Amino acid sequence: MEEDRVGVTGGVASRYALKQGRIKNEDILICIDVDAESMAEMKTTGTNGRPLIRMECVKQAVILFIHNKLFINPDHRFAFATLSKSAAWLLKDFTSNAESAVASLRGLSANKTSSRADLTLLFRAAAQEAKISRAQNRIFRVILIYCRSSMRPTHGWPLNQKLFTLDVMYLHDKPSPDNCPQDVYDSLVDAVEHVSEYEGYIFESGQGLARSVFKPMSMLLSHPQQRCAQDDLDIPRSLAKKVPVTEATNALDHHNGNNIQIINN
């Protein structure tokens, strides 16, 4: 932070200005879990009247994410991978073409069997691609969409290599004697903290509702270089926390005599 001091005597404020910095274009690798649990039915129904499955809902949310991200900055680029026992490329060549990105998702399908996931190959591929992105003055991000309620992911990645940022969206079943979503979530939190260069976000939902997929994806539109800590994230705020306009206090604008209404959110 660059300091521009106005005065040094008591009662005289100091003025500060942030150093100018360039927000870099992003290369985003979206890795989608294709375990059998990604085919679980959700509570939300589709246009055919049948319940949506997680995979289809995730596809729709990712497609919307891509279009919105490119609307914000058409120079962002995307690639895709799948996660079964380990990660595998679905679309390795990063692209800013929305149609090409969407086309790569159309044939995506889930496995019929469940297995434990090893994230090591995903992190290894991300680290290699991140070095290429850095050479082009870009930053690298991985968005992992994970759907297993009873199988904690593992990885063997050194702690001192933080070359990219990891975001996670975790969709799971309700806790039961047959699963352990809290343990899985804790493992995912550890992974985010273990590898992330900037502030990585993790969201989870066991509600089985479409909005529990679309809302986190909209929040992941945030650029890693512009993020607050997730503990400070409160978007959108609960309506119960908002103060009605009629109860807001009024403050006097001493510059022009106008009343400025302050709403305490």
Name residue, tokens 């939190």: 189
Q: Tokens for 65, please give them.
A: 């994410």
Lowest mean per-residue pLDDT among 4-13, 84-93, 153-162, 234-243: 4-13
Is 97 inside any structural domain? yes
pLDDT at 211 over 60: yes
**Residue ranges making up the domain that contains 152:** 26-239
3-state secondary structure of 238: coil
Give the pLDDT confidence of 74-87 residue by residue, as tens digits: 999 999 999 999 99
pLDDT at 265 over 60: no
Overall average pLDDT of the 62-72 stretch: 96
User: CA 74, CA 107: separation in Å to the nearest integer?
Assistant: 25
CB contact at 8 A, 161 and 124:
no
pLDDT at 18 over 70: no
pLDDT value for 255: 36
pLDDT value for 260: 31
Is 8 inside any structural domain? no
pLDDT at 118 over 70: yes
φ/ψ of 239, rounded to 5, equals -60, -30
pTM here? 0.80
pLDDT value for 52: 83
Is 259 inside any structural domain? no
User: CA 128, CA 154: separation in Å to the nearest integer?
Assistant: 20
Kindly report the CATH number assigned to the domain that includes residue 70.
3.40.50.410
DSSP type of residue 118: B
pLDDT value for 4: 44
Domain count within the chain: 1
pLDDT at 246 over 80: no
3-state secondary structure of 208: coil
The C-alpha angle 144, 148, 150, rounded to 5 degrees, equals 140
Higher pLDDT, 222 or 112: 222
Radius of gyration of the chain (CA): 22
pLDDT band at 50 (very low <50, low <70, confident <90, very high): confident
Is 13 inside any structural domain? no
Lowest mean per-residue pLDDT among 14-23, 104-113, 200-209: 14-23
DSSP 163-219: -BEEEEEEE-PPP-TT--HHHHHHHHHHHHHHHBSS---EEEE-S--THHHHHHHHH
Is 219 inside any structural domain? yes
Q: What is the rounded average pLDDT for all residues in the chain? A: 83
User: CA 43, CA 207: separation in Å to the nearest integer?
Assistant: 8
> Chain centroid to CA 30: how far?
10
CB contact at 8 A, 27 and 140:
yes
Is 182 inside any structural domain? yes
Overall average pLDDT of the 190-205 stretch: 94
pLDDT at 239 over 60: no
Is 120 inside any structural domain? yes
What is the percentage of the chain residues whose pLDDT exceeds 90? 54
CB contact at 8 A, 159 and 194:
yes
Give the pLDDT confidence of 91-116 residue by residue, as tens digits: 999 999 999 999 988 888 888 777 78
Lowest mean per-residue pLDDT among 45-59, 103-117, 243-257: 243-257
User: CA 238, CA 101: separation in Å to the nearest integer?
Assistant: 34
| H/E segment holding residue 124 | helix 120-135
Is 115 inside any structural domain? yes
